[in-house]
Amino acid sequence: MTQSWDLLIQGAKVFDGSGALPSIQDVAVRNGKIAARGDSLPADAATGVDGSNQWLVPGMLDIPRTDPR
């Protein structure tokens, strides 16, 4: 059976940088990218992580970089 997600983080406090207040959400990742987020996503993932009492800040380390050479 094929999994819907590669990774599912459930119940984390998500700060998305939009200016909205952080909220408790599930975040699903497929092929290295956020595929879905919301309340009670289907728990059909290859790997699951309990995000309770954790902050999730997607994209925080996705910073463009330049080669100094």
Contact call for residues 60 and 16 (beta carbons, < 8 A): no
Q: Is 67 helix (H, G, I), strand (E, B) or coil?
A: coil
Predicted pLDDT of residue 58: 79
Predicted pLDDT of residue 16: 84
Residue 62 has pLDDT above 70, yes or no: no
* Domain at 5-49, CATH homologous superfamily: Urease, subunit C, domain 1 (2.30.40.10)
Tens-digit pLDDT profile for residues 9-30: 999 999 988 888 999 999 999 9
User: What global pTM score does this model have?
Assistant: 0.79
Structure token digits, residue 13: 């406090």
Q: Which of 25, 32, 20 is closest to 59 using CA atoms?
A: 32
* CA–CA gap between residue 63 and residue 69 (Å, rounded): 18
Other beta carbons within 10 angstroms of residue 12's beta carbon come to 23
